[in-house]
Amino acid sequence: MYFRVIIALAIKEFLALLRDKRSRFVIIGPPIIQLMVFGFAATYDLNNVPVAIYNEDHGGAARELVSRIEGSPHFQVVAHVERDSEVAPLIDNREVLLVLHIGQRFSAELLQGDGALLQAILDGRNSNTAMVAMNYLRSILLEYNSDWLESQGSQGPQVTLQTRAWYNENLQSRWFIVPGIVGLLTLVVTLLVTALSVAREREAGTFDQLLVTPLRPLDILIGKAIPGIVIGLLEASLIIALMVLLFEIPLRGSLGALYLGIGLFLLSAVGVGLMISAIAVTQQQAVLGAFLFLVPAVILSGFSTPIANMPEPIQWLTYLDPLRYFLVIVRSVTLEGNGYDLLVHQYWPMAIIGLVTLAMAGWLFRHRLY
């Protein structure tokens, strides 16, 4: 009888979510849209970087180097500069990211066996993009140097560097980004659904009706938590299916280990959402509270910025973020093929966060009731 009443409350919460147009949109619309936008548009790779060539040397060596840059999929030569005064406007107006200056004696110095200098002028306003473009240019120059020495019959030992990338063989940034979106979108949906639950009752005037039922505050809390966990589980499953089928990202590890992580992650997310819901009086306050938690949670999770690059006090703060642990789990399972034994140190912090936040939500719920 006791569990039947809680299940009835959970069913009531599901029906309230499905009847509300805004809630239906929050559950279905944004996650799919964001997955498509992030999955297809968000990337750390650079292609067709606009560059300009300032070639003062018309020798064969210079022409060979220019042809390699023009043939690279990473660069798109949009301008050929004839004089020094043309360089600054191209950079200032963001028409090019990089200008490669080849001096007048480039070919001659190479033929003489001397070191030939090149000048690369970069737009440093976006330092990360500039450094990635510079690394692409270095790769072309390394291959060019090797081929030049071989064509000239250079004597001496040849050193060949062979690289092999583990876990992401083709170095596709999408393989790193899309698994992170599983955690990000699951957190967004679960947090909003649970944060709005009690606030919606207060706005609709039905919260007082719950208080006169035989249900205890703990029972109401459990009934409100069940829909958030179920919806979060369905949302995560849908995104994982799209990740594998649409984006062709491998799922190499244990599916059970992944879903154990999802369950513990949802427990902590529901706890935070119910804390916000217990405090908020209106749905507007609940949404504001949810986003006040979401923004720092995403920043501190390592989703886009490595945690190791953060100041040490901020790194300690990341241990309070459940998304930090779940991102490790989902990327480890998908790319590295890890199982339960290697992920246990990510499981127990989320379990503690979930229990603490649910206990706090229960205390706040009783406090607001009485």
pLDDT tens per residue across all 370 residues of the chain: 556 766 766 676 666 666 666 666 666 666 666 566 555 545 556 678 889 998 888 788 888 888 888 888 888 898 998 888 888 888 878 788 888 888 888 888 777 766 678 888 888 766 667 778 888 888 888 888 877 777 766 554 444 445 556 677 776 778 888 888 888 888 988 888 888 877 777 776 666 666 666 667 677 777 778 888 888 898 899 889 988 888 888 888 899 999 999 999 999 999 999 888 888 877 788 888 888 888 888 888 888 777 877 788 888 999 999 999 999 999 889 888 888 988 999 999 999 999 999 888 888 877 765 4
- For position 161, what pLDDT does the model report? 44
The pLDDT value recorded for residue 158 is 42
Instruction: State the span(s) of the chain assigned CATH 3.40.1710.10.
Output: 49-151
Helix spans in the chain (H): 2-19, 21-41, 60-71, 87-92, 106-111, 127-151, 174-204, 207-211, 217-245, 255-279, 283-300, 312-317, 322-331, 340-369
Does residue 350 contact residue 325 with C-beta atoms inside 8 Å?
yes
Residue 39 has what pLDDT? 54
Q: What are phi and psi of 101, to 5 degrees?
A: -105, 120
Q: Tell me which DSSP letter residue 336 carries.
A: I
Structure tokens at 199: 């606030």
pLDDT of residue 160: 45
Q: What is the structure's pLDDT at 188?
A: 87
Calpha distance 33→39 (Å, rounded) = 10
For position 13, what pLDDT does the model report?
Answer: 65
List Cβ neighbours of 220 (8 Å cut-off, separation of 6 or more): 9, 210, 365
Residues 6+ positions from 158 with CB-CB distance below 8 Å:
146, 149, 150
Whole-number pLDDT of residue 156? 41
Closest to 349 measured CA to CA, from 327, 312, 321: 321
Give residue 34's pLDDT.
Answer: 59
Burial class (CB in 10 A: 0-12, 13-18, 19+), 125: exposed
pLDDT on residue 177: 82
pTM: 0.72
Return the CATH fold of 49-151. abc type-2 transporter like fold (3.40.1710)
